């Protein structure tokens, strides 16, 4: 049994890789249908999967791949050519194979999906028209011609039997309906002898043999092997320990002045550095590992939207840490989809604007300043700041007052605000306003930043900056109340030191909130010791040090006692006991061996906003979309999620349940529980809101919301109270999963975005309840994918 599992597992991993290759090959083949090497590769992959699945007894998979293979066989022998329709159906076949493989990976058996429709479509496409100029019966020779890179005419030309005019004439005759092979036409014209044609055919055959035998695509695989990531992590940790031991030995050896010892320690020093570098490299992968899926995405989307898009990938070899690659995969894909859907215009519109009908989408990756830069640029319609401003105003993302103070670039960046969408028509691709904010949230989660620039009518460019690795980041160390803290450089904009008179008068108070005038703009100030509830330490000198930090769309000044220096720090995770605190991104060990906490700038900002209520309050909450309206003071169920207080409209609470943790079942990424004879999909609010929560209890507190026959369960940490919000205390929030903020029982409470929470538990909830079209379903699913 063990052996079989091993074989199946191997089959799965291998097939996964092959399928990714298949996606790429098919898209490339569509662009260049004459490439027999690509066709061979596609055919071989499908054939391998068919063979192995037959051997392992996966009947559905075998029969599915069999029809695909038949279709491909006809293309390979030239009786069919690859049309867009055939590409589409083959790509669907790849998806179906993927689904089956996934099911095998999860449950060990094939899923029970009915795929007869797909099989029929593939079969139908096998019997339709033969390519022009090669009638089915006499296809042999002409087909050979089509399938190989070097055509028979070219070979004859190369053999100096005929000249190019003769061949052109013969090809024209073929196109005009002469269904004889090219060689026969040339013989009939008396331009070549039967022997010469036979020689050329033999040469062609030999060339094909070389092409199919070489299989250049998989050659690289032999030089590498698979390694368990856990093993790499262990190695990485060991090397870290080794580095510290090395430091001690080098220090001791230097003090002893024993020449032999000194030499050995220097050698050790060098070797350990090299080893460290090598081990770090093993975790790095080229960005191409995630980019390689994009040609397929762009192609499918282009076909759906009726747009012509050329995708150019630059800097495929740029390397990133594996963890980061995984984290940016979905946001990048979403950004690319957005560019095709919103950025690039339809071919007609492009022609009208005097551009080539084919849109150009360029992805560029490069290293710069210890960071990886990724640019996604399209030469489409660009973003019109005026339109964005109008839309943002309409959907309540900003107030007219806020808009007045914004430059065009700030306005364009409003597309990252939650609840923002400019698509005039909601498509199943994007346009639900749940896209770009999620892109930003995900990029920021790994310490990156995202920014958009645009020239209306010319181009739009999305710039993403991400750290090379999560393990080592550049940081600024500061001191506050006697302890040192590290602030990641990525969120640091500038450093201010205000001295003398200015230190006393520079800080002003705006309705109780301290602000600082920075080049004419008001910068809200936050004292680190205050945010961290520390007793104010004695200020060393009368200068005020302000770190200008950028968190999400907020910029604020963090006041610290002293600024020490910048250094590369190794990020160590915090233990379970401290994850609930939330204000720290981790810890690190400084040069002198002391531990320092790394500040989580986003969490600090959030905490500070809660402290200084003035910032959280103000504008009206009027989120666009179909978000559940929360007008008027309505009773709220106040719950605890991690450290946060969250309000849920009582009208959306059908029931509160205690569910034993042990009865929760997992299906893929989802959690479900059997509830009153039905399955109740669950979502953890801590995940929806992106906070750490203790968990670990043997009972889960669940808010059940039902509509019609469908129910979802939202897991919270504790139910605190039922209360009514203070009137007119509403404020906006930019957090994922939060619809706004309000003062409840004199405390700032976040209002849960019920729609997002429900969709996180059951992506089909609304579409099923409303029984609306398929567009709805996929729109929500796009969101759920990203939010996961």
Binding footprint of other proteins on the chain (CB under 8 A): 240-241, 243-244, 483, 532-534, 572-578, 580-581, 583-584, 587-589, 593-597, 694, 696
User: Of 18 and 583, which CB lies nearer to other proteins in the complex structure?
Assistant: 583
User: Of 123 and 245, which CB lies nearer to other proteins in the complex structure?
Assistant: 245
Distance CA 55, CA 16 (A): 18
User: Of 25 and 717, which CB lies nearer to other proteins in the complex structure?
Assistant: 717
User: Of 165 and 575, which CB lies nearer to other proteins in the complex structure?
Assistant: 575
Cβ-Cβ contacts under 8 Å for 267 (sequence gap 6 or more): none
Q: The tokens of 679 are what?
A: 């399955």
CB of 752 to other proteins, least distance (A): 23
User: Of 262 and 534, which CB lies nearer to other proteins in the complex structure?
Assistant: 534
Nearest partner of 616 among 542, 715, 724, 726, judged by Cα: 726
CB of 575 to other proteins, least distance (A): 4
User: Of 233 and 258, which CB lies nearer to other proteins in the complex structure?
Assistant: 233
CB of 433 to other proteins, least distance (A): 34
User: Of 177 and 593, which CB lies nearer to other proteins in the complex structure?
Assistant: 593
Q: The tokens of 316 are what?
A: 């495929």
Cβ-Cβ contacts under 8 Å for 280 (sequence gap 6 or more): 236, 469, 471
Sheet of strand 309-314: strand arrangement: 309-314, 359-368, 371-378, 459-467, 449-455
User: Of 187 and 578, which CB lies nearer to other proteins in the complex structure?
Assistant: 578
CB of 277 to other proteins, least distance (A): 18
Report the largest interatomic distance among the alpha carbons of the chain, rounded to a whole angstrom.
Answer: 104
Distance CA 42, CA 39 (A): 5
Distance CA 233, CA 237 (A): 6
CB of 484 to other proteins, least distance (A): 8
Distance CA 639, CA 637 (A): 6
User: Of 533 and 631, which CB lies nearer to other proteins in the complex structure?
Assistant: 533
Cβ-Cβ contacts under 8 Å for 637 (sequence gap 6 or more): 647, 648, 649, 650, 653, 703, 719, 721, 722
Distance CA 688, CA 786 (A): 11
Q: Which residues pair with 588 in a beta bridge?
A: 596
User: Of 13 and 245, which CB lies nearer to other proteins in the complex structure?
Assistant: 245
Burial 577-589 (b: 16+ CB within 10 A, else e): eebbebbbbbbbe
CB of 383 to other proteins, least distance (A): 40
CB of 657 to other proteins, least distance (A): 23
CB of 480 to other proteins, least distance (A): 9
CB of 716 to other proteins, least distance (A): 17
Q: The tokens of 339 are what?
A: 């560019």
Cβ-Cβ contacts under 8 Å for 352 (sequence gap 6 or more): none
Half-sphere exposure of 675 (CA within 13 A, CB side): 25
Find tokens 């739009």 and name the residue.
460
Distance CA 186, CA 18 (A): 42
User: Of 255 and 575, which CB lies nearer to other proteins in the complex structure?
Assistant: 575
CB of 533 to other proteins, least distance (A): 6
User: Of 538 and 593, which CB lies nearer to other proteins in the complex structure?
Assistant: 593
User: Of 243 and 664, which CB lies nearer to other proteins in the complex structure?
Assistant: 243
User: Of 456 and 580, which CB lies nearer to other proteins in the complex structure?
Assistant: 580
Beta strands 521-527; 554-560: pairing state: parallel
User: Of 505 and 575, which CB lies nearer to other proteins in the complex structure?
Assistant: 575
CB of 483 to other proteins, least distance (A): 6
CB of 547 to other proteins, least distance (A): 17
Cβ-Cβ contacts under 8 Å for 778 (sequence gap 6 or more): 428
User: Of 454 and 588, which CB lies nearer to other proteins in the complex structure?
Assistant: 588
HEC-encoded secondary structure of 553-622 = CEEEEEEECEEEEEEEEECECCCHHHHCCCCEEEEEECCCCCEEEEECHHHHHHHHHHHCHHHHCCCCCC
Cβ-Cβ contacts under 8 Å for 189 (sequence gap 6 or more): 166, 169, 170
Rama region for 314: left / alpha / beta (φ>0; ψ in -120 to 50; rest) = beta
**E-assigned strands of 406-537?**
449-455, 459-467, 472-480, 483-488, 492-498, 507-510, 513-518, 521-527
User: Of 548 and 590, which CB lies nearer to other proteins in the complex structure?
Assistant: 590
Distance CA 81, CA 92 (A): 18
CB neighbours of residue 364 within 10 Å:
16
Taking CA 586 as the corner, what is the angle to CA 495 and CA 645, rounded to the nearest 5 degrees? 95
CB of 565 to other proteins, least distance (A): 18
User: Of 206 and 244, which CB lies nearer to other proteins in the complex structure?
Assistant: 244
CB of 560 to other proteins, least distance (A): 13
For residue 457, the SS3 value is coil
Distance CA 763, CA 586 (A): 33
Give yes or no for a contact between 375 and 447, defined as CB atoms under 8 angstroms apart: no
CB of 583 to other proteins, least distance (A): 6
CB of 582 to other proteins, least distance (A): 8
CB of 754 to other proteins, least distance (A): 28
Cβ-Cβ contacts under 8 Å for 480 (sequence gap 6 or more): 528, 529, 532, 534, 537, 560, 561
For the chain, state the CA radius of gyration. 32
Per-position DSSP letters for 339-405, written without gaps between them: IIIIISPPHHHHHHTTS-SSEEEEEEEEEETTEEEEEEEE-SS---HHHHHHHHHHTTSS-HHHHHT
CB of 682 to other proteins, least distance (A): 23
Angle between the N-to-C axes of helices 36-56 and 194-214, in degrees from 0 to 180, rounded to the nearest 10: 50
Sheet of strand 483-488: strand arrangement: 562-570, 472-480, 483-488, 595-599, 584-589
């Amino acid at each position: 049994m063990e052996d079989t599992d091993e074989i199946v597992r191997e089959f799965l991993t291998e097939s996964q890789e092959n399928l990714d290759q298949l996606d790429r090959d098919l898209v490339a083949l569509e662009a260049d249908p004459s490439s027999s090497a690509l066709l061979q590769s596609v055919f071989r992959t499908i054939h391998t999967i068919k063979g192995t699945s037959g051997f392992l007894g996966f009947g559905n998979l075998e029969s599915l791949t069999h029809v695909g293979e038949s279709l491909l066989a006809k293309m390979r022998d030239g009786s069919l050519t690859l049309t867009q329709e055939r590409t589409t159906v083959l790509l669907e076949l790849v998806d179906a194979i993927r689904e089956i493989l996934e099911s095998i990976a999860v449950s060990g058996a094939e899923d029970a999906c009915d795929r007869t429709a797909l099989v029929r479509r593939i079969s139908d496409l096998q019997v339709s028209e033969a390519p022009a100029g090669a009638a089915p019966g006499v296809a042999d020779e002409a087909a050979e011609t089509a399938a190989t890179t070097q055509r028979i005419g070219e070979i004859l030309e190369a053999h100096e039997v005929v000249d190019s005019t003769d061949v052109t004439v013969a090809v024209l005759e073929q196109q005009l309906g002469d269904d004889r092979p090219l060689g026969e036409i040339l013989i009939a014209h008396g331009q070549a002898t039967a022997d010469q044609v036979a020689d050329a055919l033999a040469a062609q055959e030999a060339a094909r043999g070389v092409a199919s035998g070489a299989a250049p695509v998989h050659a690289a695989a032999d030089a590498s092997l698979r390694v368990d990531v856990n093993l790499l992590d262990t190695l990485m940790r060991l090397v870290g320990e080794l580095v510290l031991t090395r430091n001690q030995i080098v220090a001791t050896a230097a003090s002893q002045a024993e020449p032999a010892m000194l030499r050995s320690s220097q050698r050790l020093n060098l070797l350990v550095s090299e080893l460290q570098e090598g081990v770090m490299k093993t975790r790095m992968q080229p960005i191409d590992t995630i980019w390689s899926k994009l040609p397929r995405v762009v192609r499918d989307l282009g076909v759906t939207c009726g747009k012509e898009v050329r995708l150019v990938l630059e800097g495929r070899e740029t390397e990133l840490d594996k963890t980061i690659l995984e984290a940016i995969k979905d946001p990048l894909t979403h950004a690319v989809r957005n560019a095709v859907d919103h950025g690039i215009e339809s071919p007609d519109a492009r022609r009208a604007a005097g551009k080539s009908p084919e849109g150009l989408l360029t992805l560029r990756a490069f290293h710069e300043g210890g960071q990886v830069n990724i640019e996604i640029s399209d030469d489409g319609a660009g973003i019109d700041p005026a339109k964005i401003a109008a839309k943002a105003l309409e959907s309540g993302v900003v107030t007219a007052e806020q808009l007045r103070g914004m430059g065009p670039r700030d306005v364009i960046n409003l597309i990252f605000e939650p609840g923002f969408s400019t698509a005039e028509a909601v498509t199943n691709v994007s346009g639900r306003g749940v896209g770009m904010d999620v892109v930003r949230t995900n990029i920021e989660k790994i310490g990156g930043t995202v920014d958009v620039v645009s020239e209306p009518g010319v181009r739009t460019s999305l710039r993403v900056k991400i750290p090379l690795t999560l393990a080592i980041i550049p940081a600024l160390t500061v001191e506050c109340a006697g302890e040192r803290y590290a602030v990641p450089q990525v969120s640091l904009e500038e450093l201010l030191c205000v001295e003398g008179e200015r230190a006393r008068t520079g800080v002003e108070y705006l309705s109780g909130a301290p602000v600082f005038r920075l080049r004419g703009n008001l910068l809200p100030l936050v004292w680190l010791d205050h945010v961290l509830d520390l007793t104010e330490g004695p200020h060393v000198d009368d200068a005020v040090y302000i770190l200008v930090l950028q968190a999400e769309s907020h910029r604020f000044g963090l006041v610290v006692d002293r600024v020490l220096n910048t250094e590369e720090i190794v990020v160590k995770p915090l233990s379970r006991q401290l994850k609930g605190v939330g204000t720290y991104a981790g810890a690190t060990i400084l040069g002198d061996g002391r531990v320092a906490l790394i500040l989580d700038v986003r969490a600090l900002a959030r905490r500070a906003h809660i402290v200084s209520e003035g910032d959280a309050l103000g504008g009206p909450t009027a989120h666009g979309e179909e978000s559940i309206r929360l007008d008027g003071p309505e009773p709220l169920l106040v719950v605890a999620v991690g450290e946060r207080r969250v309000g849920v409209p009582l009208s959306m609470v059908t029931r509160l349940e205690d569910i034993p943790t042990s009865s929760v079942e997992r299906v893929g990424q989802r959690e479900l529980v059997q509830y009153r004879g039905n399955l109740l999909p669950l979502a953890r609010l801590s995940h929806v809101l992106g906070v750490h929560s203790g968990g670990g209890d043997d009972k889960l507190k669940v808010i059940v919301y039902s509509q019609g026959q469908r129910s979802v369960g939202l897991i919270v940490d504790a139910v605190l109270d039922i209360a009514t919000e203070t009137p007119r205390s509403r404020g906006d929030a930019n957090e994922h999963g939060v619809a706004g903020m309000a003062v409840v029982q004199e405390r700032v409470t976040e209002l849960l975005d019920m729609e997002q929470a429900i969709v996180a538990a059951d992506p089909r909830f609304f579409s099923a309840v409303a029984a609306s079209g398929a567009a709805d379903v996929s729109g929500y699913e796009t969101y759920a994918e990203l939010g996961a």
